[in-house]
Chain A
Amino acid sequence: MELKSHSDVLIIGASTAGCATAESLRHEGFTGSITVLGNETSAPYNRPPLSKHVLLGEWESEKADIFADGAAERAGIDLHTDVTAHALNTAERSVSTNRGDISYGTLVIATGARARQLPASVDPDHVALTLRTREDSMLLRERLENSRSVVVIGSGVLGSEIAAAARKKGCAVTIVGRSGALTLGSVRDLLTQRLERLHAQNDVELRLAEGVASITHDGTTAHVTLTSGEQLDADTVVAAVGAIPNVEWLESSGLTTSPALNCDSHGQCAENIYAVGDVAAWHDSRTGRWLPDEHQLTALQHGQAVARHIATGEKAEPPVPFFWSELYGVRFQAYGRFPAEAELVTTHGDRESGDFVALSMLDGLPHGVVASNMSRYFRQARPAVDATLSGTPAPATTTTPSTAPPGGQS
């Protein structure tokens, strides 16, 4: 398809957030031209399955596609892959790419983030794999099939998911984490004991509060030397040590990018310019801070909020963080905020060992809810969190109804 030299809305990045913006513009009745440019050769895809169903081989990778066959065309969205944006000129309202310059009426920046690599001083030969793109997922999937032992570097949720997938594939697994605690997205380290137990029950070795001094490969086996001096041998090494927003192409644009693109609470970062998804940090009027929030639902909500603003001028409520993970068949979900000064109060179940729902309580109000399984109780707790965060709090019940059956309540 020919790349037009002008688009009424130009979206840089065929990410979840970029594609959601394009789709939502049409839902909002926007009739102008929409162009989405992605720098990968692959069709746009969703990321969550890449560390779950796709990594395990339970899904073909196409099932992660964002658009069904022809759906973008039917919606009147000009989607181009394999196009890289080099620079933004805000005065001329133009983006230069490897396929030429494109001018815009409104620009939406959705260039996402990339996997952070281990420093070259630690892993000079790039032995450690990372997991961020669909290609990464397919490579790691193949490697897990052919590995007996895996070292996962990183104590965050992605590290835990990779470890769980590797165990399911029958590999011996060790997680190495510089932090002393396992973390789970926005819930931070509040469930670390639960996670440690879950990994232990599944025979995953943990090396927490341990750095990696060096990684070498002798042609058949990787050798990971920890700062304690211990050496771990593995067929496959994976680093899940965070992501870096893709903002370098904006260096000469004059926009503030440190480390993400700072936007107002509706996603706008300059006149006629918005940023959505992992590349953006939207201002949170509740805390007065810019909050990056690298989760799937936030990316979708960013796209929808910006689309509405562009199409209708209406401002949407800023998104509330939501994330989920699945480890060894246990589903964890978290919604809202989990500030350090809040207290986690279990309302259902047993937080240390079994299924549970717990509220993040601050000043007597629920700011967040986290659950392991028990999805319906989790959902039922969410409106109270919304009420707190939107400034119209309703007191939450933190007592356990003794007669309620486990896992089911209507």
Chain B
Amino acid sequence: MKIEIDAAACVGAGQCVLTAEDLFDQDDDGIVLLLNAEPDESRYAAARRSAALCPARAITIHE
């Protein structure tokens, strides 16, 4: 799995951080920061959930 983010689309909702704080963080403007682009299999479900819940659809999962 590879996680891709689109910072230009991000609206800073923080949904991803609340879902998987080991994979995502926010900068001072609230924009998404990717902490781990290639997570372990144990975190695949959390990564998928983060992408699905992003209101701006700024997270893409490549599997």
Do A and B pair up? The answer is yes
Against A, the Cβ 8 Å flags (1 = close, 0 = not) of B1-38 are 00000000101111101100000001011110000000
Partner of A326, one of B11, B14, B53, B60: B11
Q: Bound complex: CA of A407 vs CA of B29, how far in Å?
A: 7
Known A66-B57, A297-B15, A326-B11; contact A379-B26, beta-carbon cutoff 8 A: yes
Kindly state whether residue A23 has any CB partner on chain B within 8 Å: yes
Q: Which residue of A lies closest to B57 (CB)?
A: A46
Q: Bound complex: CA of A12 vs CA of B55, how far in Å?
A: 21
Provide the residues of chain B in CB contact with A188, threshold 8 Å: none
Q: Which of A97-105, A126-134, A148-156, A370-378 contacts B (4 or more CB under 8 A)?
A: A370-378
Provide the residues of chain A in CB contact with B48, threshold 8 Å: 27
A24–B52 CB distance below 8 A = yes
Q: Bound complex: CA of A382 vs CA of B12, how far in Å?
A: 13
Against B, the Cβ 8 Å flags (1 = close, 0 = not) of A13-33 are 000000010011001000000
Residues from 255 to 304 in A contacting B, C-beta threshold 8 Å: 296-297, 300-301, 304
Against B, the Cβ 8 Å flags (1 = close, 0 = not) of A48-84 are 1100010000000001001010000000000000000
Known A46-B57, A407-B29; contact A375-B14, beta-carbon cutoff 8 A: yes
Q: Bound complex: CA of A378 vs CA of B30, how far in Å?
A: 9
Known A23-B52, A27-B52, A300-B55; contact A331-B30, beta-carbon cutoff 8 A: yes
Kindly state whether residue A401 has any CB partner on chain B within 8 Å: no
Provide the residues of chain A in CB contact with B11, threshold 8 Å: 48, 324, 326, 331, 333
Q: Bound complex: CA of A304 vs CA of B53, how far in Å?
A: 9
Partner of A376, one of B30, B52, B55, B57: B30
Partner of A382, one of B14, B30, B52: B14
Provide the residues of chain B in CB contact with A356, threshold 8 Å: none
A375–B26 CB distance below 8 A = yes
A297–B14 CB distance below 8 A = no
Partner of A375, one of B12, B53, B57, B60: B12
Kindly state whether residue A383 has any CB partner on chain B within 8 Å: yes
Partner of A324, one of B9, B29, B31, B55: B55
Provide the residues of chain B in CB contact with A46, threshold 8 Å: 57
Q: Bound complex: CA of A20 vs CA of B55, how far in Å?
A: 11
A357 to chain B minimum Cβ distance, whole angstroms, is 11
B55–A297 CB distance below 8 A = yes
Q: Bound complex: CA of A105 vs CA of B15, how far in Å?
A: 33
Which of A301, A373, A379, A407 gathers most chain B CB within 10 Å?
A: A379
Q: Which residue of A lies closest to B6 (CB)?
A: A63
B28–A376 CB distance below 8 A = yes
Known A297-B13, A324-B11, A331-B12; contact A382-B53, beta-carbon cutoff 8 A: no
B28–A408 CB distance below 8 A = yes
A224 to chain B minimum Cβ distance, whole angstroms, is 32
Provide the residues of chain B in CB contact with A374, threshold 8 Å: 30
A48–B18 CB distance below 8 A = no
A379–B14 CB distance below 8 A = yes
Residues from 351 to 405 in A contacting B, C-beta threshold 8 Å: 373-376, 378-379, 382-383
Q: Bound complex: CA of A68 vs CA of B28, how far in Å?
A: 30
Q: List 12 A-B contacts (CB under 8 A).
A: A48-B55, A53-B9, A300-B55, A322-B55, A324-B12, A331-B11, A331-B30, A375-B29, A375-B30, A375-B31, A378-B14, A407-B29
**Chain B: residues with CB nearer than 8 A to chain A?**
9, 11-15, 17-18, 26, 28-31, 48, 52-53, 55-57, 60
10 interchain residue pairs of minimum CB distance: A375-B30, A379-B14, A375-B12, A297-B55, A408-B28, A296-B55, A324-B11, A407-B28, A376-B26, A27-B48
